[in-house]
Amino acid sequence: MSTGRPKGGVAEGGQRVQPSEEVLDTLAELFSHFKAHFERVVQPYDLPPYCAKALRMIDGSISMKELGTRIHCDGSFVTAIADGLEERGLARREIDHDDRRIKNLVLTPKGTELRARLGHDLFADVPGLRNLDARESEAFLMLLHKMLEPEAHAGGPPATGPGCAA
């Protein structure tokens, strides 16, 4: 997917494009490459992308509510994710020791192993980032954090409705 716009913010006909428009268009294109990369990496593991995304978020144990918050999913969809992970032997549900109303997802040894392999495969060669040297990667990360800082104080990401955010 290409924005069809030359670099530098000039559209066809020489009309200047707003920098924020070019930033958003470029980020959207980069995110489409990230999504395609994620789906390519996950495909050989016969794991739905939403289960792989959840697996990456679970570091040992996490409440189902917290998992939903982290991946921007409705609670009913988190249940479907938990079902998928349990069916594959990657996680199990456990009642929280401190609050019996809370259900946690806990990785099994098989889930822990797959989480590590996925992490290696996902982050070994990330589209876009592979073109940056260490200094550029660090600067890019700092800019991303700077961009997110005011948004975090404004209440976080918007509600996404049922299911997961893209």
In angstroms, the CA 30 to CA 137 distance is 15
Q: What is the pLDDT of residues 23-47, one digit of tens each?
A: 899 999 999 999 999 999 999 998 9
Domain 46-150 has CATH 3.40.50.300: no
- With a cut of 50, say whether residue 161 has pLDDT above it: no
Bridge partners, 94 (sequence order): 104
**CA–CA distance, 63 with 157 (Å, rounded to integer):** 20
Closest listed residue to residue 6, CA positions, set 32, 20, 25: 25
Give the length of the chain. Answer: 166
Domain boundaries, the chain: 46-150
Sorting pLDDT into bands at 50, 70 and 90, what band is 6?
low
Identify the pLDDT of residue 166. Answer: 47
Alpha-carbon span 116 to 130, nearest angstrom: 20
End-to-end CA distance of the chain: 16
The reported pTM is 0.74
d(C-alpha 121, C-alpha 135), whole Å? 23
